[in-house]
A = this chain, B = another copy of it.
């Protein structure tokens, strides 16, 4: 019996957030065939001695210059035929970053690296559209019962930013007052003395995310649902 020659790759769906523009996705323009010139998720083959997480982080930095601080395995896409050349099975990850933390640059397999608003995506190579849709669904599901999202906000932020983030991700209106009640009940935010006014309107206090209390909750299991 000959050894199967299946290649193993990783792909990354990186969501970036900006309070003004909403959610974006990081894509690269392919330098080589197949799909030369087409847009695709950053990613590439896994090296023999590296972990999957390492492979994602490496490819991501090589191709785009982005280092993610939150990274989670999404799903493994393995249909024969998803790559026209060979059998390639891809383990997809998704990550969250503050968009403003990075200046993108393209290198190695990528001709360009760009943020696309998640409502205005170009055609994607391979089955990357499926991967992206899976990631969006997962993010939407996850944010409802686990307070992700602090990775997407500044260290100190007005409550309205958090609220907008949720409305952006969930793509629907969320009652501001009840949302705040629920979130403050969770007790993982620290309200600061400082205030900011963003444009007109009464300025709100800044909040800080309390990592300590968050870790405690994570151990004991969250009881939280938006």
Contacts and interface: CB of A to CB of B under 8 A. Distances in A.
A105 B78 CA distance: 29
A47 B3 CA distance: 9
A88 B101 CA distance: 36
By secondary structure, the A interface counts as loop
Interface stretch (A5-13, A119-127, A170-178, A190-198): A5-13
Contact of A4 (B48, B76, B87): B48
A76 B48 contact: no
Nearest to A53: B78
Question: What is the interface residue range for chain A against chain B?
Answer: 20 to 34
Contacts of A89: 8, 46, 52, 91
Contacts of A3: 5, 7
B8 A48 contact: no
Contacts of A6: 6-8, 46, 48
Given A52-B78, A78-B46, A7 B4 contact: yes
17 contacts: A4-B8, A4-B45, A4-B47, A4-B48, A6-B6, A6-B7, A6-B48, A8-B78, A8-B89, A46-B78, A48-B80, A51-B78, A51-B79, A51-B80, A52-B76, A73-B75, A89-B91
Interface of A: 3-8, 45-52, 73, 75-76, 78-80, 87, 89, 91, 225
